[in-house]
Chain A
Amino acid sequence: MESSKVIHAIYTDDDVLMAAVKDVRTAKYHIDEVFTPFPVHGLDKAMGLAPTRLAITAFIYGCIGLTVATVMMNFIMIEDWPQDIGGKPSFSYLENLPAFVPIMFELTVFFAAHLMVITFYLRSKIWPFKDAENPDPRTTDDHFLMEISVNNDNEDAITELLKTTGAVEINLVDKAH
């Protein structure tokens, strides 16, 4: 297997990083990853990442939660054992609806929130005993790292380009697995 090499360009300022991302994209090189210690506003747009669909999943999970609450209470309170509890009308779901609304609301929120968080964990591949994938510990504190995959032809060209973008450090890393 051919060894795959990447270049790690390290920056110390998020504005410089943003400008560098734009330059690299203009030069039509592919940026594999960018590691930052905190969210950099607008970085996803500069990198051309597709927008997240997490909100859409949350809406669907909320609808599921609402359905669960409705089906559950309709079965328990109306169909299975319609008792007279304090004169509440348990003849149909609609007649006793106001009493069920707080639970319907809470379960909608519960499902939407929790299932969305779990979806986020799954899609981001994070869990308690996962090995950290940090290429350089400084990126958790005050450094920004851009990773660009290279082949033997364009290695020098990319290095030249990155030097002009204000990178404080440029390393060629062999990522052979």
Chain B
Amino acid sequence: MYTLSNKLRTFSFALIILGFIGVVYGFMSSHKSLDEVKTMLATEAAHHGGGSHEVAQATHEVDPHEGHGNAMSHGEDTHADAAHGETAHAEADAHEHHGDAHAEHVQHQLANRPWSALYVAAFFFMMISLGVLAFYAIQIAAQAGWSPVLFRVMEGITAYLLPGAIIVLLIAVASGTIGHYNLFVWMDPEVVADDKLIQGKSGWLNIGWFAVRGLVFIAGWSTYRYFSRKFSIAQDNADDNSNFKKNFRISAGFLVFFIYSESIMSWDWIMSVDPHWYSTLFGWYVFASMFVSGITVIALIAVYLKSKGYLELVNDSHIHDLAKFMFGISVFWTYLWFSQFMLIWYSNIPEEVTYFITRIEDYNLPFFGMVVLNFLFPLLILMNSDYKRVPWFVVMAGVVILFGHYIDIFNMIMPATVGDRWSVGIPEISSILLFAGLFIFVVFTALTKAPLHAKRNPLMKESEHFHY
């Protein structure tokens, strides 16, 4: 049995408290009055040499309207002219009252920052445990012979899924109920009133239905997790393999549910921050990100527990296999990232390409930097077969991969909410600390609840002697 050391408990509480203070500070300092924002912008304009920056801002703001007008004329031929006229009028308006409108826009972006920082961190840690749950179900459904010694580690990590996913959904819904629509513009009735494109999607994108969908997904994932864990522990003291068989059946069923729910979840929780934009392989892309992060965390926790002497049966070959998965799925993530980017870059259709233009212009370093972190680094570090067996190499690559995938989620959410007002400061780092502390506490507490060795699993003997 694993016992949670006092050091680790204190460490996780320290992270939670430190993070919580930072998050509160982030929320306190982000609400600025319109005058404060105007003063700030005036100072900035002076620094940047005035005019050019303002002009860039103005064209940048008009862009979505243009794309919007085009999209509508494609969709509704009869209303095309009227709609276009309206848009043109709105543009003229925007230019007249540009000063105020711009300041209000910036004010809203600043207020969004702590919300987005919290949401990105919450989603990042939730997706780790969801990725691990999918990996766990695949191992059981595929009857993998190497992984049963790691099942209890995976079960420990998935314990975070229920609280983590509820927190993500709560932040999302709260941003539209107690907040001022800080994450999802489609939650704002005023925006929807002027936006034909979102109106057309409001049958899907409305808070009630959004919350119900979220609850259904969380219920589905948690139910599978609950029963799979129950059968896994029951198998320890059973006389036959009936629990193993039940676990196999529900895992296969869960994987079907998972791939639908994960896809829809990624439209809801991530893609809908940009309600004018859509991409068909987005669900896969988010899946690759969560899968590789999940596998990385399994490897990190396994290496940690082994170094503390709790997993004697985990040998170099198990770490080697996890490292191979980290390597392979990193390449898979890159494949999807590039496929999504290249198809949109190549055809350059205005209503699609704005997504990447804002990212390349305002998020150049994070956007391309994450390709280095998530692809180039693991590719070169984890290609060598010998390196994959060296724990500190795996840990180093794992830390870089996790950082890279945090940046990935950051790149998906931030451009839609805070735009070019992003930075990595107290709100972002504190949110990471808060959820990292919570994650460590929940996961390691769950690890103390059952023996780390799943006895009587029919594949356990093979796993113990696994050698590559």
Contacts and interface: CB of A to CB of B under 8 A. Distances in A.
Interface of A: 55, 59, 87, 98-99, 101
A99 B338 CA distance: 11
Contacts of B341: 98
A98 B383 CA distance: 24
B241 interface: no
Contacts of B348: 87
Contacts of A98: 338, 341-342, 345-346
12 contacts: A55-B385, A59-B383, A87-B348, A98-B338, A98-B341, A98-B342, A98-B345, A98-B346, A99-B342, A99-B346, A101-B338, A101-B342
Interface residues of B, number: 8
A98 B344 CA distance: 11
State the main secondary structure of chain B at its contact with A.
helix
A20 B383 CA distance: 35
Leading 5 A-B pairs by shortest Cβ distance: A98-B342, A98-B345, A99-B346, A101-B338, A98-B346
Interface in B338-361: 338, 341-342, 345-346, 348
Given A98-B342, A98-B346, A99-B342, 6 more contacts: A55-B385, A59-B383, A87-B348, A98-B345, A101-B338, A101-B342
Contacts of A99: 342, 346
B407 to A, nearest CB: 20
A87 B350 CA distance: 14
B337 to A, nearest CB: 11
A55 B346 CA distance: 35
Interface in B382-414: 383, 385
A101 B342 CA distance: 9
Contacts of B342: 98-99, 101
A6 to B, nearest CB: 34
A82 B383 CA distance: 37
Contacts of A59: 383
Interface centre among A98, A99, A101 (most CB of B within 10 A): A98
A68 to B, nearest CB: 19
Nearest to B348: A87
A77 to B, nearest CB: 15
A101 B341 CA distance: 12
A99 B342 CA distance: 7
A101 B343 CA distance: 12
Nearest to B385: A55
Contacts of B385: 55
A59 B385 CA distance: 13
A104 B16 CA distance: 46
Contacts of B383: 59
A33 B232 CA distance: 49
Contacts of A101: 338, 342
A101 B346 CA distance: 12
A26 to B, nearest CB: 22
A87 B346 CA distance: 10
Nearest to B335: A105
A55 B348 CA distance: 40
Contacts of B346: 98-99
Contacts of B345: 98
Interface string B153-187: 00000000000000000000000000000000000
A98 B348 CA distance: 12
A59 B244 CA distance: 43
A101 B339 CA distance: 11
Contacts of A55: 385
Nearest to B386: A51
Interface centre among B341, B342, B383 (most CB of A within 10 A): B342
Nearest to B380: A59
A59 B383 CA distance: 10
Contacts of A87: 348
B306 to A, nearest CB: 25
B349 to A, nearest CB: 12
A3 B236 CA distance: 66
B389 to A, nearest CB: 14
A98 B340 CA distance: 11
A21 to B, nearest CB: 19
Interface string B74-89: 0000000000000000
